[in-house]
Amino acid sequence: SDMREANYKNSDKYFHARGNYDAARRGPGGAWAAKVISDARENVQRVTDLFKHGDSGHGVEDSRADQAANAWGRSGKDPNHFRPRGLPD
């Protein structure tokens, strides 16, 4: 909801990292749930991209970058690494 409210260009990776960071801080169950949800969301997106764009590889790089940001946040690293300049607090 924060990402939708911010509606800020190039902030996707920041919100991926922050969501996983916040979940991981809730303990091992939070980190596990964040991984399961992140993986499921990326897999669903790949399937919908396949229907929209065929077997073009569309979105593969973006999905990998999203998963890298997810892992970054889950590992406890600062999600602000991905924060775009000018994103409101």
Q: How many whole angstroms from its chain centre is CA 57?
A: 19
- The CATH number linked to 73 is 1.10.132.110
Residue 69: its pLDDT value, please? 96
Residue 57: its pLDDT value, please? 62
| Residue 58, token pair as written in the block | 């569309």
Lowest mean pLDDT among 13-17, 45-49, 63-67: 45-49
Structural domain includes residue 1: no
What's the total number of domains in the chain?
1
CA–CA dist 61, 56 (Å, integer): 12
CA–CA dist 50, 11 (Å, integer): 24
What's the whole-model pTM score? Answer: 0.84
Apex CA 48: angle with CA 81 and CA 22, to 5°?
Answer: 30
Residue 27: its pLDDT value, please? 86
Short-list 79, 62, 77, CA closest to 19: 79
The residue segments making up the domain with residue 59 are: 28-83
Please check the confidence at residue 52 and state whether its pLDDT lies above 90. no
Q: H-type helices in 1-89, by residue range?
A: 2-6, 12-24, 28-53, 60-74
Rounded average pLDDT over 58-80: 91
Rounded average pLDDT over 74-79: 96
Structural domain includes residue 59: yes
Mean pLDDT of the chain: 89
Structural domain includes residue 57: yes
Structural domain includes residue 5: no
Residue 58: its pLDDT value, please? 62
